[in-house]
Structure formats: C-alpha cells, structure tokens
Amino acid sequence: MQRFHPWVFSGAVKSIEGEVEDGDVVEVCLENGEFLATGHYQDGSICARLFSFTPVQADQAFWNHMIAQALDCRRKLGLPDGSQTDCYRLVHAEGDGLPGLIIDVYGPTAVIQCHSIGMHRSLEMLAGALRENFGNAITAIYDKSAEALPTEYASGVKNGYLFGEGGPHEVKEYGHSFWVDWESGQKTGFFLDQRENRRLAGHYARDKKVLNAFCYTGGFSVYALKAGARFVDSVDVSRKAMEITDRNVALNGIGPALHQSHTEDVMAFLKAAGPDYDMMIVDPPAFAKSLKKRHNAVQAYKRLNALAMSKLNAGGILFTFSCSQVVDRQLFYDTIVAAALEARRQVRVLHHLSQPPDHPVNIYHPEGEYLKGLVLYVG
C-alpha cells in the first residue's frame, strides 16, 4: 500500500537506471516497473524528495500550478489580502507538497529559500510562477538559499534578487509593525511561525512584568507591550537582533520606560535575575538538529526551563517552546515535567501550542510538525 511519504531513503533503492546528477528530476518505480512518484534526486540518506504521485513534467506550467495551490490555501486563511497582516509563509516544503522549498512573503517581496539542489535548480521557474500568480502584487523576489543548501554545492551559490530590487522594510502582523531584514537576518528574516503564539501571549501580558528570552527581533516583546505589559526585558546574545528589537519597539510607539534590551547569554541573565517576573517567553534556537545530539538537547531544555520556573512569581505564566524536529511533542512535554520537578513548582498546562496554519503539516509527513510549545501556570 502506498503511504505517500515524500521522502525516499537511499537504503530503499535497489538500483538507479542511467546517469543521475544531484537535482535531477527522477521517477521512482517499484521493482516491477510500476510508477510511484516524481521528485528531485540528491545523493544522501534521503535520495529523492517527491513532489508528485502522478506522472508529471516539471515544467513552468507545473510550478505555476503548485504555487497557485499554495496561494489558494493561504487565501482560505485570509492571509494575502488581510489589511492587518501582510507577511506569511506561502510554501512550507512538504506541507505544501514541495519538499526542499520555503517561500515567505513580506509585503511586496517574496523570499525563496531552497533546501534541496533540485529546488535551487528550479529557481527561474519558481520565480516565474510567483510572478504569474501574484502579478503586480510582488515587486521583488529574493533568493536566500546559500545558507540552506549542501556545503559543496552552496560554495557556488550567492544570495540575491531574482526579480526587482529593494531591501529590508516594515511589515504588519495583526496590526503590529516589524522591521524585517531578509538579506542578513536569520532564516528568511522573521519568525513567522510564532504569529498565533505571539497573539496569545498578548492576551496574558497585561499589567505583568515580562521576560522575553531568546527574543530575536522582539516579536513577543512588542505584542506584550502593546497589550499593556507593565515592563518587558528582552534578552538575546545577538547585538544586531537587539538593535532590531529596539527599532521594532519604537516602531509601535512604545517608549523606553517600558522596555529594556539586554545583549547577553540567556542562561547567564537568568542566573543573575531576581525571582520577580510575572510572565516569561522562552523560545530558544534548535538545541538538536540530529538524533545524536537529542540527549544533550533534552538536558539543555530541562536546565533552561527549571531555571525559568525558579524566576517566576507564584501564579506566573510561562510560554516555552522547542523547534528541534528530533525532539517530538511527547519528549518535550516529559522534559518540561522533569524541569518542574527540578524547580519544585506546582505547574498546570493551559495550552498546547504549535505552528500556524500557513505552516501546514502533510498528514503523510508527521516530521513536518516541528514547533512544540506549552503555556504553563506556575504556582
């Protein structure tokens, strides 16, 4: 029975017919010759990433159709035409049937990030598909793939504009203003996957003293302050991230009396902090990107969350996250239980959090659910 998983592992391949190079479009068949799927070949443990389970020609018409499908899904979410939000994820790799491809939209600019050689070799047609589907609504297309591609191949790749020109600019998310730098920022410039969780954090923040740890460009800080937080401390080890955080706070009309930025290591900051926060957001980078590093990552999550809980006032609210794909939802939950035991706090789970609907999960590819979060009441 075909399971429609979009990856073919090299150990499942009996033979390869003909000469095949990284990025080639290939057909995957059973031993008897029965067609299974079409995808991109790449030498490695995942040797084929599948984008169609029917025979197709991966020509311009195909890419136009796939981008049209992704856009239709976002229109049903109310994203492309929303007056309050003009930044969102248009293509979420396997979640949209396009393994190895991320496309984020920031106002009139689309940012493409290819994680596979096949998708990168299709850049010209992908840019054409964006222009076909968006028309004049997209005035620039930026390729930011160099950081995401295999090292040897990426040595010959430079980021740059495929169409139009421009630079970082201001976007809106639920009416909040953010300065996004897709050229030199992390990922594609902004953590779009926390949109709904930022909105929920605003619901809890009124009249609270808040710590936003690993704040990057201050998304949670802005939502908390606009919702009426008494004071917010934002902490990140990146000086550039803190400069953009300050800019984003000012963009939203918030004075310096309500906010302070700290360019510091989060663990060092927490150890030195007094136990006087009413609410915390703990959203660290992925502590593990491979199964070999999972144990160490779990220990790091435990130490971090135990320390955070120890600095919360009784009745405090903790938003805590993991974006490590190899740390699944149950393991993350169990790790937070261990942290609560270590901190000796009474903890209640208020919400289980995930990524927003513009980061969909292919039902046949559960690995696509990478963002896990909990909202905790810490007694």
Give the number of other Cβ atoms within 10 Å of residue 35's Cβ.
12
Nearest Cα to Cα of residue 326 among 360, 361, 292: 292
Instruction: Give the whole-angstrom CA distance, residue 358 versus residue 79.
Output: 9
Selection from 357, 300, 317 nearest residue 212 by Cα:
317
Please state whether beta strands 259-263 and 231-236 pair in parallel, antiparallel, or not at all (unpaired): parallel
How far does the chain reach from its first CA to its final CA, in angstroms?
50
Please report the DSSP string for 56-116 in residue order: ---SHHHHHHHHHHHHHHHHHTT-TT-SS--EEEEEEGGGGT-TTEEEEEETTEEEEEE-S
Residue 323 designated active-site: yes
Under a CB-based contact definition with an 8 Å cutoff, are residues 71 and 90 in contact?
yes
DSSP type of residue 23: T
> Which of the residues 47, 73, 215, 323 is marked catalytic?
323
Burial zone of 367 (CB within 10 Å; 0-12 exposed, 13-18 middle, 19+ buried)? middle
CA distances for 97 relative to 100, 141, 339, 353, 362, angstroms: 10, 21, 37, 23, 8
The alpha carbon of 171 is separated from its chain's Cα centroid by a whole number of angstroms, namely: 17
Do residues 104 and 188 make contact, with C-beta atoms less than 8 angstroms apart? yes
Active site positions, annotated: 323
